[in-house]
């Protein structure tokens, strides 16, 4: 009987810890707010990254304009820990380290995106709450 009680207590503690970790991750994802349009400039190259989908993955489209011309890439992205994985439609997937500097400003570091700083593009669309009733 005692072993059953101990097992129930351990299972309860494990459940509380797992739920707490999930809530913290969800809060972190909400703070990141990755889906949207991001832009930046580095060494004469202007880049724009549009992330669509959920808070932790979806489709992406990136455009780079620079002295060498215009380059575009589309594919899928997903968040894994503190890394963003980009899986282009043509080519190999790549992993970039993600840094959150402040709300609306992130950094990516990885193949093809070395030390890039992205700033969220603002828009003038304001979401209004839906009426219930």
Q: List the CATH code of the domain at 34-120.
A: 2.40.128.360
What are the domain boundaries of the chain? 1-32, 34-120
Q: Do residues 60 and 75 make contact, with C-beta atoms less than 8 angstroms apart?
A: yes
Q: Which of 133, 34, 38, 127 lies closest to 84, judged by CA? A: 34
The model's pLDDT over 3-59, given as tens digits with 9 standing for 90+, comes to 988 999 999 999 989 998 888 877 777 778 889 999 999 888 899 999 999 888 999
pLDDT tens by residue, 67-89:
888 999 999 999 988 899 999 99
Q: Which residues of 98-132 are buried (b: 16+ CB within 10 A; e: fewer)?
A: beeeeeeebbbebeebeebebeeeeeeeeeeeeee
Distance CA 127, CA 21 (A): 29
The answer to whether the pTM exceeds 0.85 is no
- The DSSP-derived string for 3-40 is HHHHHHHHHHHHHHHHHHHHHHHHHHHHHH--SEEEEE
- Residue 128: predicted pLDDT: 54
Residue 60's pLDDT is what?
95
């Amino acid at each position: 009987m005692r072993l059953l009680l101990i097992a129930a207590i351990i299972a309860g503690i494990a459940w509380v810890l797992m739920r707490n970790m999930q809530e913290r991750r969800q809060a972190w994802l909400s703070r990141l707010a990755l889906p949207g349009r991001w832009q930046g400039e580095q060494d004469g190259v202007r880049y724009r990254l549009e992330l669509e989908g959920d808070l932790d993955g979806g489709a992406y489209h990136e455009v780079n304009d620079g002295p060498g011309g215009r380059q575009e890439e589309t594919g899928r992205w997903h968040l894994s820990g503190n890394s963003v994985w980009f899986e282009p439609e043509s080519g190999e997937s790549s992993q970039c380290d993600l840094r959150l500097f402040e709300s609306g400003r992130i950094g990516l570091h990885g193949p093809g995106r070395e030390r890039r700083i992205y700033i969220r593009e603002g828009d003038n669309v304001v979401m209004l709450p839906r009426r219930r009733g």
